[in-house]
Amino acid sequence: MGALVLAAGDEFTPPTAEAFNLPPIFGWVTKPMLLIVLSVVLIIGFFLLSSRKLSVVPGKGQFLVESFYDFGRNNIAREQIGSRDFLRFLPLILALFSFVLVNNLFGIIPILQFPTMSHIGFPLALSVLVVYPVYHYAGIRRHGLGGYLKHQLVPPGAPKPVYLLLTPIEFFTKFIMNPLTLAIRVFAAMFAGHLLIMLFGISAEFLLLHGDGITKIFSLFSFGGALAMTFIEVLIMSIQAFIFALLSANYIGAAMAEEH
């Protein structure tokens, strides 16, 4: 690529992290903030409208909504938390899943074209300020503070000396790393994915505009790459939303579980 760029005679500047530093649209309001608000409006509108007239025998539209709802309900919440308690956490899991999913998908929707979760502040708000307190609170309410700490930090079944090592690791994992990795996972995926699409897009444009003769053809490859990445991104965006909701449910389920 470097040779091509040199041949074109112009300096090619690949997109950097700076590309994510969007200027405020007005006042201190930035594009991701507007996107977040838009996503909430969309999701609330979708659910409220689609659940307005639910019938016992579903029509085609209701069937689709129910499929989405059931996916969050049965495949994520009930599977991870258990059929006894999952209903209490269902709104949370459903909100996490739809919220992350829609904000991720903004990355490939024309005009919007920015995955909100590539700004780490948003996934951090969800994981550290929502999921983290919820699963600890659920665990403490179920087992009591002492019982919960013992349950979380001293998993039964290991030989005594191992706990010297195991307990600090468990503490580190459950009280520090879990919320951070939960946020970083989706943030990094969205950040990298968006960067890749940008790279392909910008290089395609650059090759087309500044390439001479034959090198213009390579623009097609870059464009194809951007297209392919977009499709892959759809998959990754959905999977990341699923993983975010799944792990949140998993943490809650693990905190409330009777056995380790």
CA distance 80 to 234: 25
Q: Which of 3, 9, 18, 160 binds another protein (CB under 8 A)?
A: 18
Contact between 202 and another protein by CB under 8 A: the answer reads no
For residue 104, the minimal CB distance to another protein (Å) is 14
- Residues 6+ positions from 145 with CB-CB distance below 8 Å: none
Stretch that binds another protein, among 28-36, 170-178, 215-223, 249-257 (CB under 8 A): 28-36
| Inter-residue contact 236 to 119 (CB < 8 Å) | no
Sign of the CA dihedral 80, 85, 87, 88? negative
Contact between 17 and another protein by CB under 8 A: the answer reads yes
For residue 64, the minimal CB distance to another protein (Å) is 13
Helix, strand, coil in percent for the chain, rounding step 5: 80, 0, 20
Stretch that binds another protein, among 34-42, 155-163, 199-207, 240-248 (CB under 8 A): 34-42
Q: Which of 1, 6, 64, 91 binds another protein (CB under 8 A)?
A: 91
Nearer to another protein, 74 or 173 (CB): 74
Contact between 39 and another protein by CB under 8 A: the answer reads yes
Nearer to another protein, 23 or 213 (CB): 23
Torsion of CA 105, 239, 245, 51, to 10 degrees: 50
Contact between 259 and another protein by CB under 8 A: the answer reads no
CA distance 113 to 104: 10
CA distances from 22 to 52, 112, 128 (A): 38, 13, 24
Of 110-169, binders to another protein (CB under 8 A) are: 118-122, 124-126, 129-130
Query: 219-248 mask for another protein (x: CB under 8 A)?
Result: ------------------------------
The owner of tokens 């919220």 is: 99
Q: Which of 4, 30, 175, 242 binds another protein (CB under 8 A)?
A: 30
Q: How many Cβ atoms are within 10 Å of 186's Cβ, its own excluded?
A: 29
Tokens of 196: 């890749």
The owner of tokens 């112009």 is: 10
For residue 215, the minimal CB distance to another protein (Å) is 25
For residue 140, the minimal CB distance to another protein (Å) is 20
| Inter-residue contact 97 to 46 (CB < 8 Å) | no
Which residues are paired to 29 by β-bridges?
Answer: 26
Of 48-87, binders to another protein (CB under 8 A) are: 48, 51, 54-56, 66, 69, 73, 87
Q: What is the size of the binding site for another protein (CB under 8 A)?
A: 43
Nearest-CA neighbor of 179 among 100, 139, 123?
123
Binding stretches for another protein (CB under 8 A): 16-18, 20-21, 28, 30, 32-33, 36-37, 39-40, 43-44, 47-48, 51, 54-56, 66, 69, 73, 87, 90-92, 94-95, 98-99, 118-122, 124-126, 129-130, 191
